A and B are shown apart, each in its own frame.
Chain A
């Protein structure tokens, strides 16, 4: 009944209106399929707009082959959608097609499924969002407790910690990050040196570029940039891994086996993240200072001079502040990644949402913690 090869035969379609015994008759000829339905519909509209009808008969006996798209136009015709106030009668419809026509749902059936229009109210949305933030903060605190508990339990019995997995995470999140950490730190060092060299030259204080590089890379940029890279590379990965496991019901499987997902999945990642951050940060500090020193040498300072200036500017407490930050960053970023993974809801975008939330929350917390460190370090004068 349907043309097997319904390629463009629109030219063979005809729509005619002639006067029959009971008033005007709209007659359709030719194939009436998904390829031709739109053009036939336009022709029908054109023919009907040319005249005012009070009754209409639609003769479809001239149709050669049709499908649902063609029948949909007939359905519209029969419902009087093109002839306001007039319900045309369809004639010449083969029995098989009449049965197919019944597939078009009635308005009543449609009414059952159609969702009510969604109304957005501002107070409602604000309230929902506030509650969600409060709820999330609560969950973060509870999660922190659960992780600490599992961590202590794990450290008491180190054999239960699944060290192999810690090693794998350490390698993926740590060793794998070396290239990007190298590049970003090295370039940051170069940028700081270049940007500060000009203004300082005006005061004849270009040698203090070394102080700037040392303090900024070791106290601030080393830890922060490494942490942001960790959030982007590994916090997101943790969220996606655990999120996918949640979607696949693997977390439920763990739980019913009596295995705590936090102990089984989170502790390893948090431990690895916490352990690799100081190492990666120290490397980043070195690369940054190296970049700055390279620029200073290019400007014309002898290496010995740069070294004396650098070692005078940076002392052990700066290094300790930087490393302490990195440890805190590492644990917070990896824990947040895992938390977002565990919070993953169902649905196709859920894992994507979780990774986004992991990275955003990670970067947000990095900056907040850094600000806290700045205040505390100022008060303690370190």
Chain B
């Protein structure tokens, strides 16, 4: 921006050095929520990765370890009741669903620049959130034996 333009233009807010603390002061339109949740879901899977690998290991290793894997959710493990582990699994189900579906949206936007508008961003963000949350509800209900 040239100097003459800068003096006549309205003062617009400028953001430098975004950090964790400034996150709460943002406006959060739906596309931002979908984007923020993409990061949150990725971070959840990063920190729970040892548990994911524990599940993978026990579920494929043997019939005995497979039953141990199932018992963690039905009986409990490490002094925690089964429903706590089901909640952890549900968090992982949500995280992987959101990360997968929001990731497809990102890949689509990366390869279809001509379609990307503000409205498109908003509409696809809503689609991601609705699809993710309803699938999480359906799978969560199954996980907790509601049907």
Bound together: no
Interface residues of A (CB under 8 A from B): none
Interface residues of B (CB under 8 A from A): none
